[in-house]
Structure 1
Amino acid sequence: MELKSFKFDLDERQVKWIFSPLRDKIQVIELLMKIIKIILVDDKLDSERIKGKVVLRVSKMSRLFFFSEDKFFSINFPFLVFHANKDLSFQSKNGNKVDNKVTSDVLGLLASEVLLSSDHVLEFADPVADIEDYNSGFWSLLKELLLFEDGYIRYDYDDKHVNGQRHPLNHLDIFYCSGSTFKIGLRQRITDNHLMDLLDLETDSHFLERL
């Protein structure tokens, strides 16, 4: 499959919230919905306002890559990508259009404190059913989001918390939940292209060296 790569610039405000720590799947879904909004608007920034970038790469893999000065991370992009007349559009694997309205519906649903804290299934189902009344594919889309594997990986150049080989200056963080995350130390700083190549299924694999 031909590699397609789309870059979008980020300002200081966007970099601040995008690089806030992710702690659970809901936060990943919220990030994904907000990034789709940024991509659909595709606001062009003056060079002095650019503080980071997001890159959508589509080939045998589909991933979002986020880059700031000292931190990079990547998540899986679970939607089909269409590119026509210089515009991007997205569709779920079940054929549901993923547009600005849908992303707002998902974000509004996830922002409800009652929705995910309640012990009663109907308090989850009722607001989903309300949206389903005017978007017949919404539950199918939401189910895809709740079940998709996010494939999170982050690179840090962390001079504030460096602690020998326990917390290397350069390292990869695999996963984000405290019960499953771990670090892989790196001998030197890497670039954005290094991370994209590491995760590209159509380039040579990288290897870990045993000490």
Structure 2
Amino acid sequence: MSSAKMDGKLKKPLDYINIVLQIVEHILSWSNPESEATIKMPYLVIESTKKNRRAFIIKSDQIVSFSFPFHIYKEIGCVTTLGKWHVRYKDIDVSTTILSKSRGLYSDYEAYQERKTYQEIASAQNLSDTDMLKAIRLFEMLMITEPAYVRYDYDPKGAKGQKHPLCHFDCNFIDAHHYKIGLHYRINLVQVEDLLDKDTDSWFIAKYKESALEKKKRLKVRFAKIKKGKCTRKCKKRK
């Protein structure tokens, strides 16, 4: 884990590529993980196993998680790279040069996507450059990767009953495909990791249970409406 502040929000597919490239840049300059006792929010946690490859960005009232399709490792016993983290995708060991070229492709596509296809932007690059070809492969991979976005929120300011539960998951970041799953209680990173881990038991969705306080408020509103309705009918009869 490492303290990290990523620029930009996830609102469209291109934002996912931007955030992932920022994380790769952060890891390549990463010396050593920080301890949980001293780390400051927001901080980044990367899970990099054969089955689970995800990034987690943790804030005081929010945990954002999405797929991170790279393998992260350290070379053991190599003096020249001692303490250095490596980021790899299949046969590509991502260097700062490859990362820089990938970010250049991102910037070009962001600027010209309304006028040019990605193929046109890629074909305009120096295709005799081996690092550029690797950057193109990485960018194409990120374009078709399923972001698998899940965000846990504890939202006392925006809470509005069952429509916007105090504790909830937001699934998918594009508005047209976004939905919420309410929770009965607050959870932490360990529980979010457990939910998303393929090797642990599945979670089950439980039907919403109304608290005694919520029931009291609901009945109060209901009786007020009934009382108002009776009063209106009486007034009409008198007229």
In the superposition, the TM-score normalised over structure 1's length comes to: 0.82
**Out of 2, 5, 9, which is 1:8 matched to?**
2
CA contact (8 A) 2:105 2:139 kept: no
More helix by share: 2
**Out of 60, 64, 71, which is 1:73 matched to?**
64
Question: What displacement does 1:155 show?
Answer: 0.6
Q: 1:56 to 1:155 in 2, by over 3 A?
A: same
Counterpart of 2:53 in structure 1: which amino acid?
S
Q: Percent identity?
A: 27
2:137 is equivalent to residue 140 of structure 1:
yes
Aligned to 1:84: 75
In 1, Cα distance between the equivalents of 2:128 and 2:148?
A: 28
The 3-state SS of whatever aligns with 2:176 is: coil
Aligned to 1:30: 18
Counterpart of 2:199 in structure 1: which amino acid?
E
Counterpart of 1:57 in structure 2: which amino acid?
E
In 1, Cα distance between the equivalents of 2:19 and 2:70?
A: 14
Aligned to 2:195: 198
Question: What displacement does 1:96 show?
Answer: 1.6
The 3-state SS of whatever aligns with 1:117 is: coil
Aligned to 1:56: 46
Question: What displacement does 1:160 show?
Answer: 2.0
Counterpart of 1:83 in structure 2: which amino acid?
K
The 3-state SS of whatever aligns with 1:166 is: coil
In the superposition, the TM-score normalised over structure 2's length comes to: 0.73
In 2, Cα distance between the equivalents of 1:63 and 1:150?
A: 9
- Aligned alpha-carbon RMSD (Å): 2.4
Aligned to 2:205: 208
Question: What displacement does 1:105 show?
Answer: 1.7
Question: What displacement does 1:82 show?
Answer: 2.5
In 1, Cα distance between the equivalents of 2:63 and 2:128?
A: 36
Equivalent residue pairs, number = 197
Question: What displacement does 1:108 show?
Answer: 2.1
Is there any run of 5+ residues in structure 1 with no aligned partner, and where? 1-6
Counterpart of 1:89 in structure 2: which amino acid?
H
- Higher RCO (Cα < 8 Å, 6 or more apart): 1
Query: What do residues 30-70 of structure 1 show as CA deviations (whole Å, max 9, x unaligned)?
Result: 10111111122126789888222111112321111110101
More strand by share: 1
Q: 1:159 to 1:195 in 2, by over 3 A?
A: same
In 2, Cα distance between the equivalents of 1:159 and 1:132?
A: 55
Q: Which is higher, the Rg of structure 1 or of structure 2?
A: 2
Q: 1:71 to 1:139 in 2, by over 3 A?
A: same
Question: What displacement does 1:119 show?
Answer: 4.1
Q: 1:158 to 1:138 in 2, by over 3 A?
A: same
